[in-house]
Structures are given as C-alpha cells and as structure tokens.
Amino acid sequence: MLRWVKSRVFFFAVLLLVSAWMAWMGAYTWRCDFEFTWWSWGVLILPLLAGGGMLLARLCSKPLLPASYALWGVLLLSVPVDCICNFFAYSVPWQFHVSVLMTMGCMLLLWAVFRAGAIAFWVMFLVLEIMQICSFLQYGSRINSLVVAETIEASWDDALAYMTPLNLGTLGLSFVLSVLFCWGMRKLLCRQHSLSLFNAACLFGGASLAFGLLVPPNKQKQELYWPVPEVPLLYHAASEALTINEATINQVESLTSPTAQPSSLNTLRGGEGVVLVVHVGESIRADRMSLNGYERDTTPWLRQQQSVINFPDCISAACDTCQAQIALLTDARRDIHEKRPEMLPKTGSVLDLFVEHGFEMYSFFGRRCAQKLKYDRVVLMLTHRSRQKFNAPGSPWTAVPQMQQVLQSVPRGQNLLFFVNNEGSHTPFEHYDRKNPPFAPAASHFQDPASQALEVNNAYDSTVHYTDEFVRRVVMAIQDRPFIYFYVSDHGEYLGHDGMWGRAALGEQHISYHSTTGCRVGMFVLYNEAFEKLHPHFAPALQQLRTNASLCVAHEHLFHTLLGMFRVQSPFYNASLDLTAPAAQPYTGPKP
C-alpha cells in the first residue's frame, strides 16, 4: 500500500480526481459552457510537448517524470504560496486549483531550465508579491508604473513615511518565507533530471489551462493562471515607469525657449519694483480648503482676504508632479500621455519671458530638489534662468527668510519673479506644527492609513493650514511692494476617497485620474492695491480674472494668464486660455 501511495500514478490520479471535482463544481456554480479562447491552444500544445519529452526520455533511458516525493513536495509548496502570494487566488470560486497547477508547472519548468539559478527569481518574485498584497490592503494600491515612478522619485523623507514597523516586518517576513520556499524547492528538485521536470511542467501547465476553460468567458482573465501573467505585468510596470521618466526629461530638453521668438511686455518699463510670485503648491485638494467651503477652517487667513481671487474648480493635468509642472509652465494642454499633437507643449517655460523682459528670477524649493532625479531635473530645467536657487533645509517656512534676504539685497526698483515649489501637503503630511497641530490627533505615518483615517486626515488638513500660514508670511514680506501672487497645486491626494490612499492605485484599479475627486486642486490669486494701480491695464484684467473665477479652469490656463496679466505679446499666447481676457474659455478636458 505504501509503495502504491508513493507511486507517480497514484499522485496523478489523486490530482486529477480532485481537480476534476473542483472544475465540475466551478462549472456547475457558473452553469457555463466551454468556449475556445486564444490560450486554449496551450491545452493542445503542452501535452504534445510532454509526450515528446517522455519519448525522448525513454530513448535516452531517463526517468519520464520526477519522483513521486518530489511531486508531492511541489504540490505542498504550491498551495501555501498561492494562498499567501497570489492576489487573485480567491477571485473566482472553485478555481484555486487552476493557479496551483500553474504554479507547480512554473516551479518545475524554471528548475528544469535554470536549475539552482531559479532561486534568485523566486526570492525576488515572492517578496514583491507579498509586499504588493500588503500594499493593496493598506493603501488600495498594487505595483504599477505609477508606483514604480513614485518610488524612483521619492525623497528620503517620503521613503521613511512608509518604513513603518509593520512594513519593515512584512518585508523581513516575506524574505524569510521566500528563502524557506526556495530551500524546500532545492531539496525536492536538485536530484531530479531536467527532462523529467520539463515533462511534468508541461502536464501541469496543460491541466491548468484545461480546467481554466470551464470558467465562464466573462470571468476568464489572464490573472487566473498566476504566476505566469504576473511576471510581464511587473516588468511592464518597471519598464513603463523608466520609459515615462526618460520621455519626460527628453520632452522638456527638446523644448526651445519662448524667448526665441519676438516678444514684448507692454505694462512695465522697469523700475516699478513689482514682485510676481508663481507658487506651484504640493498636493492640495480644492475640497480641503475652507476657502472653498470645507467645514474645517484650513485656510483662515486666505478666507479673510478681500483681494483674493479664488478658483474653486481647477483641474490638474496629471497626478505626477513633473507632468503638472510641464502643463503649468509651458503651453501644454495635457500631460505626456496625450496623443494629440495640439495638446503637447511647443515651447519652454513661460518664466523665461519675464526674465527676458527685466524680471530677476529666484527659485525656492523644498528639500526634494537635492535628488537630481526626474522631478528635480525637470523643474530645474523649467527654472534654468533663475539668478539663484534656494532649498529649504527643514520647514518650508525657511523660504520666507530667504525671500527677505533677496528683497534686501536687490535694488528696490528691480522687478522680481519668485518661483516657489516646496513640499506643502505632499506625503507624508508632516509639515505642520507638531506640538500644536491645528487638527488633532494628527499622525503622519503610513503604517495603515485606512485604520487611522482620522489621524491621517487631521495631519493632511494641518498641512493645508500650514500652507495658508506660509502664504501669509510671504505676503507680509512683500506687501510693501506692488505684488501679484499666483498659486496652483500640482495634483491632489487620495485620503480614503474611492478606496485609495495616495495616488498610485489608479493604474491598478483602471480608474482614470480625471474621473476622481483628487484631480480638483487649489488655485487662487492674491494682489495688493499698489499693483492694481500700477498700470491702467491691471485693474480691468483683475476684474476679468475675478469674473472668470466661476469657470472650470485647469493647469493649461496659467501660461497664458500670466502673459495676459502683464500684456506680454508672444506668438505662443492664446487668448482663449487667458483668464484675464473676455474671450477666455473654460476647461473642456476630462474631469469628474
């Protein structure tokens, strides 16, 4: 009896009976009919390969199939691996055995081809699979190109936000489990002949595809045959992220400055001492500003300003900082994914035109711009004509003394352009008064944001309050000069909205960024009376800007609105996108 149990025939008989029963239950549950699909060819091809391999093994006097203990061991390893690492193991009732059979086939095939070299693949693959399941459970996100791009772009502070005890423990545990799995696989397969492993792999793979055909057509997905489809998905995520990074940099580098064409500035002659502030904020949602009716008073100072012109319905171009920067500072209408040529940028940074016509530009960044990665390279190219670039070594409030230093060092009549882009409300939501948070209890860690939604949302709202105070301090520093202050956020954040945290889940859930509430961002304009009276054009332009504040606007309006406010004549100017012009048209692109 024991000898019979140890035989290969018994193993395949048991496996066939159990699989047939589960497949029948699945077919009965779904009441489905067989339908031939493109992967059905594997049902025919793999058994033929197995038959050919067995014939070759017979001719070479090699075992046709691995030893029965190896087959039982592979089965016992595959079941827990699918239970722990397979995100789709339970997505279709009664079909768990389909992925188990495919996992067994992959284990045997990889060892047959690479022998011990297969261990390197399995350790890396299983760690990634465990981590992305934990990522989905905590943040609603799996690994996709946006996750990879955000990881590449992340600063040390961003990374620390996710280095929680739970995440570090999960990483360590996943590595240990992967090593144990590979150790067991090596013990089972190291003495088995490669040809016999290949034959068994083809049989298991063919059986997986055959039973998968009983899944109804509307439920048949490649993910059913995990882990095979997971490998190209992970590769595609990394490849797409790197491709987009490179394409973004190449796109900006290829743009010629708008100063290459004739232009003129018709409202200033120099010596007025105007301060133009262009502040590209970080991650502020429009609906989290009390300026837009949010129940919490997150923008108390702005809400009290009579001169503020608020745009409650502003759509950001992309959920990526670099794409947003390009859409804001160039004449682009959309982001790099847009295929229509008329929507892509044709010229470089609008800031160049102001420097060309007498403004001295100074740029104030957060700590992130020390990385020299994609984000830094793009924003540094778009602000390349800055006379000096500052970084805030700690709090973004550090930029205010830096601005005061510039104001004291340049002649009072010099027109100035301050470009600001600091962390603001970017993850991990840590820029606020930790000792006295405006909204408590506040926690900026991201161990499990869904279970600590109140604390994380309090931290986010506190960062919006912090930005309000930052704007107040900047205005106090420049208020004795004519100034106009343009603020617009680059993108929003997900704080449990649509079941997501952050922005990385979009690619996984096939949700368009512009169909979610996260694409509506904060935008407003501030000015003082001295600026309004400086030139006859400014008062009607500001009034028209206030009239157009009720329109649905977007990042694409900033380039042309800056030119329209100062009556900069340029061949790249478009009056229909100038919010200071009566001909201004609302944003017509995708939105919630």
From residue 416, give the alpha-carbon distance in Å to each of 348, 379, 406, 487. Answer: 20, 19, 9, 16
Asked if 525 and 545 count as a contact pair (C-beta separation under 8 A), the reply is yes
Q: How much is the pLDDT for 551? A: 96
Count of CA atoms in the C-beta half-sphere (13 A) of 368: 30
Residues 178 and 292 in one domain: no
Domain assignment of residue 261, yes or no: no
Q: What is the pLDDT of residues 99-157, one digit of tens each?
A: 888 899 899 999 999 998 999 999 988 888 888 787 766 655 667 666 666 666 666 66
Residues 191 and 306 in one domain: no
Domain assignment of residue 247, yes or no: no
Beta-bridge partner residues of 501 = 495
Residues 179 and 317 in one domain: no
SS (H, E, C) 480-495: CCCEEEEEEECCCCEE
Q: How much is the pLDDT for 28? A: 47
Q: How much is the pLDDT for 53? A: 82
Q: How much is the pLDDT for 371? A: 47
Q: For the chain, how many helices (H) and strands (E)? A: 21, 14
- Residue 253, both tokens: 């580098």
Residues 320 and 230 in one domain: no
Q: What is the pLDDT of residues 545-587, one digit of tens each?
A: 999 999 999 999 999 999 999 999 999 999 999 999 999 999 9
**pTM for the whole thing?**
0.72
- Residue 186, both tokens: 């090596």
- Residues 6 or more apart whose Cβ sits within 8 Å of residue 44: none
Q: How many CB atoms lie within 10 A of CB 528?
A: 19
Residues 394 and 484 in one domain: yes
Domain assignment of residue 441, yes or no: yes
Asked if 333 and 556 count as a contact pair (C-beta separation under 8 A), the reply is yes
Residue ending a domain, choose from 218, 240, 262? 240
Residues 293 and 421 in one domain: yes
Q: How much is the pLDDT for 504? A: 46
Asked if 330 and 350 count as a contact pair (C-beta separation under 8 A), the reply is yes
Q: How far apart are the first and last CA of the chain?
A: 67
3-state helix, strand, coil in the chain (%, to 5): 55, 10, 35
Pairing status of strand 309-310 against strand 523-527:
antiparallel
Q: What is the DSSP string of 49-111?
A: HHHHHHHHHHHTT--SS--HHHHHHHHHHHHHHHHHH-TTTTSSTT-HHHHHHHHHHHHHHHH
Find tokens 């100062």 and name the residue. 566
Domain enclosing residue 349, as ranges: 272-577
Alpha helices per DSSP H over 422-509: 453-478, 506-509
Domain assignment of residue 586, yes or no: no
Residue ending a domain, choose from 240, 262, 287? 240
How many Å apart are CA 7 and CA 345, to the nearest integer? Answer: 68
Residues 142 and 13 in one domain: yes
Domain assignment of residue 135, yes or no: yes
CA nearest to 560, candidates 544, 571, 547: 571
Domain assignment of residue 251, yes or no: no
Residues 334 and 412 in one domain: yes
How many Å apart are CA 482 and CA 534, to the nearest integer? Answer: 8
Q: How many CB atoms lie within 10 A of CB 571?
A: 10
How many Å apart are CA 236 and CA 48, to the nearest integer? Answer: 31
Domain assignment of residue 51, yes or no: yes
- Residues 6 or more apart whose Cβ sits within 8 Å of residue 578: 557, 560, 561, 563, 564, 584
Number of structural domains (the chain) is 2
- Residue 503, both tokens: 């922005």
SS (H, E, C) 371-431: CCCHHHHHHHHHCCCCCEEEECCCCHHHHHHHHHHHHHHCCCCCCEEEEEECCCCCCCCCC
In a 10 Å sphere around its CB, with 0-12 CB exposed, 13-18 middle and 19+ buried, how is residue 586 labelled? middle
CATH of residue 326's domain is 3.40.720.10
Residues 209 and 302 in one domain: no
Domain assignment of residue 264, yes or no: no
Residues 50 and 97 in one domain: yes
Asked if 483 and 274 count as a contact pair (C-beta separation under 8 A), the reply is yes
Residues 550 and 406 in one domain: yes
- Residue numbers of the chain with a pLDDT score lower than 70: 1-42, 91-94, 136-142, 144-162, 214-220, 240, 336-339, 367-375, 394, 445-448, 498-499, 502-511
Q: Which element (helix H / strand E) includes 277?
A: strand 275-281
Residue ending a domain, choose from 196, 221, 240? 240
Residues 205 and 66 in one domain: yes
